[in-house]
Structure 1
Amino acid sequence: MKRQVLATLGTAALLATAVGCSSGGPSPAAASADTKNMTGTVTVWLMEDAGKSWPELVQQVNDQFAAKYPKVELKLSYHNWDNKVAELDQALTTNQVPDVVELGNTETMKYMVNGNLAELKRNTFDNADNWIKGLSDTCTYNQKLFCVPYYAGARVGIYNSKMFQDATGSGEMPRTEDELLTALDKLATRNKGNAGFSPLYLPGEYWYAAMSYVTAYGGSIAKFDDTGTWHGTLHEAKAQQGIQHFADLVKKYNKSGNLLVKETDQATVVGREKSALMYANGWELGNAIAPITGTPALKDSLRIVGMPGPNGKPLPSFIGGSDLAVTAKSQNAAVATDWVRMFTSTKAQQVLADKDILPNNLTQLEPLKNKPATSAAANAVPDAWFTPVAPGWGAVEKQNVLVTMLDSIFKGTSVDEATKAADAQMNQLINNPS
């Protein structure tokens, strides 16, 4: 799946003198080599987030590489999430592959299973024994490491405190879901003259949210059984309970007039005061207060909090994030790996943490748990859920198995029937490399 970003940039290229190489595997052999006289080229693909949000980190690492490998050219380009997978798939059919590529953490399995990524040595990277498990797992296949966690993300509640204050007498987010539902009912009453107002904006196709409720009830999307295969488990009682709960919330509180949409525009809905609460990535608050997609005047009213979930507990979050991998076709794997090593070092991770981006390890994550801007997401990360690390999960997503299931429920199919159909379709896909 593709993760959403704040804006779409064109793919751009940046040339700098940096990492150099000789052919060889991605071991840290370059450490004992004459790096000053190495020549060649290393190509790095980063997502646009880096160029827009932490260019100083990119420059810091490039300078560090340039000092170590002064005669080698680094070709670094920025890519957007909508096009990157297609670009990478095309490149992998040729010999013009990037040496280093950033992958969303739901993208890695496909490339690991298909042998597109070089195996890496875990103990040569900073904080490897303390990486956030939800990220580390996305880099591991058959007990081998094929990428390095870069940064993490988690979904949170983003709410309009002024609307809550006006409707309930308190601008604070309720601590339990029962209290939240009472507040949402009051918000509905207070804003009954606001046509299309949704106290809670939950789009019907928002399967990340639906699966968070599945997790909250102890269910799962799929399991790996003792026969050595994956099978769908959405039809099981606990998973059905979570899906029913999600569907009930959508039907009761989403008054937008169209339930069969994804969460793509939810920040605009909140930013234009057509909803008081959304379950979203933390960065989506920026869209809600941007001049075009939202309302800048809401800057002081919108707040980020942990989302209350069923049974008096926080709603479990999907763990998002990015990883960095060295491609198996790289002719410069050892030095490309050195670039990844520098870009994910403790020093580099601190640059991200200082910008309120969740780092790849628990040690540097800890201070962010008590920082107002990051506490909700940082506290959600350690217990976050992730999609099945199965060979065919990419195909499950590509064929919209979960979205189709949710659509059918909102068109009138029972949860029992819809989940059984989803599992049957999933079972045909999930064990086959996509």
Structure 2
Amino acid sequence: MKKRTSTAALAGCVSLLAVTGCSSGFGGGDTAQEDGGKQNLTVLIASSGTAETQAVEKATAGYEKKSGNEVTVQTAKDMNQQLGQAFAGGSPPDVFYVNSDQFANYASGGSLYPYGDEIENVEDFPETLRRSFTYDGKLTCVPKDAAALALAINTKLWQDAGLTEKDYPKSWDELESVAKKLTKGTVTGLVTSEEYQRLGAFMKEAGGWITNADQTKMTADSQQNTEALAFVKKGLQNGWWKWAKDVDSLNAGEAFGQGKAAMTIEGSWLAGQLQHDFPTTDYKVVGMPEGPAGKGNLAFTTCWGVAQKSTHRAAAVDLVQHLAATEQQAAMGEGFGAIPARESAADEYFGKHPDREPWTPIGEGIQGPVTIKGMDKVLSQFNSDLLSLKTADPKKILSDLQRNGEPVIQESTE
């Protein structure tokens, strides 16, 4: 049957915290299950672009053919809001993306059906990734992919500026130097998003981070983090660093593909975006430059969540089994650049694309996201504050983050 694709656009606003805060009924009792015959499943994704959407559609089409079930893929405009509304209304999608920084919210609220022990060869997923999606001792959902950040360089603009491979920046000073040389006319040396999901890499390189290692204490208001944001602020004020919106682009990948940015900082999803939307862009991916404290980077991972309230849980887990298979994860990597979460699939992927190894989520200085229940609201405010970093006081931004995060951590550790 022909696949249907829609964009989920629900009205109103129900916050995720409000939903999980009153969600004790999600896990209470059980939901009557449909079995036998053709079943209709809904998958909700937060797509990075057309390439990712099409890759998921292709993967679910293969499942439809194999199973006889029908799958509707929906792309969320605001994943947290739309999932919150769906859970609150008692009609969540059967399968959906869950970012590691949101996982604790959903798991603690009873929204997720823990199916990890039903997946074949689950040990093929690295322990660090499995730990990100384990709650109350159970592997609740399996990761679909994982990637770290890397510095992408437009090779034509690089060569036009008289730069060579020897000039690939290894430090903040070198990053600033080459970015200044690349900034000319309509081209900005470095264009990124304003999110901590990018700028946080510089916090790690300075020796700082938002919390301590076991996430029991806020460490945002530190000299190391201040130094990192001050470096970013200097770049913004001097014009060799800009936010994507300031060059009239929807995101940093688009700015890079349009030739407005000579460099950007993104994860492996950039490869899929460029391949689909800007196929003539010639670029090179290199590791992040080191900071005062050495190497530092952020790693991102997402799992396939299955709704506790789904009436198709067995079929939903069967679909995830298909999506999480080695060959399917490798196909996703080819489709939109996602680094497979399965080690066997990742080995195959890097064997075909050794140039993408700087995106590997394993290595020195790699930092995963903050996974404390309720911290997403605090970090959302942090991102809003970072938007004005060019004219704001970095220490004030970090002080506000510290103050807002402390009660959340206190509640999580009580």
TM class by shorter-chain length? 0.7 to 0.9
The letter of the residue matching 1:277 is M
In the aligned structure 1, how far is the partner of 2:199 from the partner of 2:329? 31
Aligned partner of residue 76 in structure 2, secondary structure: coil
The structure 2 residue matched to 1:109, chosen from 73, 85, 104, is 104
Counting only pairs closer than 5 Å after superposition, residues 143-292 of structure 1 correspond to structure 2 as 143-170=137-164, 174-177=168-171, 178-188=173-183, 191=184, 194=185, 197-202=187-192, 205-223=194-212, 230-254=216-240, 264-284=250-270
In the aligned structure 2, how far is the partner of 1:378 from the partner of 1:255? 25
Aligned partner of residue 210 in structure 1, secondary structure: helix
In the aligned structure 1, how far is the partner of 2:244 from the partner of 2:40? 48
Q: Retained in 2: the 8 A contact 1:163–1:187?
A: yes
User: Could you tell me which residue of structure 1 aligns to residue 115 of structure 2?
Assistant: 120
User: Could you tell me which residue of structure 2 aligns to residue 422 of structure 1?
Assistant: 401
In the aligned structure 2, how far is the partner of 1:336 from the partner of 1:287? 28
Q: What RMSD, in angstroms, separates the aligned Cα atoms of the two structures?
A: 3.7
In the aligned structure 2, how far is the partner of 1:363 from the partner of 1:224? 29
Q: Retained in 2: the 8 A contact 1:176–1:312?
A: no
User: Could you tell me which residue of structure 2 aligns to residue 343 of structure 1?
Assistant: 323
In the aligned structure 2, how far is the partner of 1:25 from the partner of 1:241? 51
Counting only pairs closer than 5 Å after superposition, residues 18-417 of structure 1 correspond to structure 2 as 38-39=36-37, 41=39, 43-47=41-45, 51-66=53-68, 74-122=69-117, 124-133=118-127, 135-170=129-164, 174-177=168-171, 178-188=173-183, 191=184, 194=185, 197-202=187-192, 205-223=194-212, 230-254=216-240, 264-284=250-270, 298-299=280-281, 301-310=282-291, 315-316=296-297, 318-355=298-335, 356-369=337-350, 371-378=353-360, 384-398=366-380, 400-404=381-385, 406-407=386-387, 409-413=389-393, 415-417=394-396
Percent identity reads: 18
Going from structure 1 to structure 2, the CA distance change for 1:60 and 1:140 (only over 3 Å counts) comes to same
Q: Retained in 1: the 8 A contact 2:257–2:274?
A: yes
Quote the offset at 1:242 in angstroms. Answer: 2.7
Aligned partner of residue 88 in structure 1, secondary structure: helix
In the aligned structure 1, how far is the partner of 2:339 from the partner of 2:30? 30
Aligned partner of residue 241 in structure 1, secondary structure: helix
Aligned length, in residue pairs: 380
The letter of the residue matching 1:325 is G
Rg larger in structure:
1
| 1:91-114 Cα shifts (integer Å, max 9, x gaps) | 223443333323333332221121
State the TM-score, normalized to the length of structure 1.
Answer: 0.73
In the aligned structure 2, how far is the partner of 1:312 from the partner of 1:151? 28
Going from structure 1 to structure 2, the CA distance change for 1:187 and 1:121 (only over 3 Å counts) comes to closer
Quote the offset at 1:282 in angstroms. Answer: 3.5
Going from structure 1 to structure 2, the CA distance change for 1:259 and 1:345 (only over 3 Å counts) comes to closer
Q: Retained in 2: the 8 A contact 1:42–1:75?
A: yes
State the TM-score, normalized to the length of structure 2.
Answer: 0.77
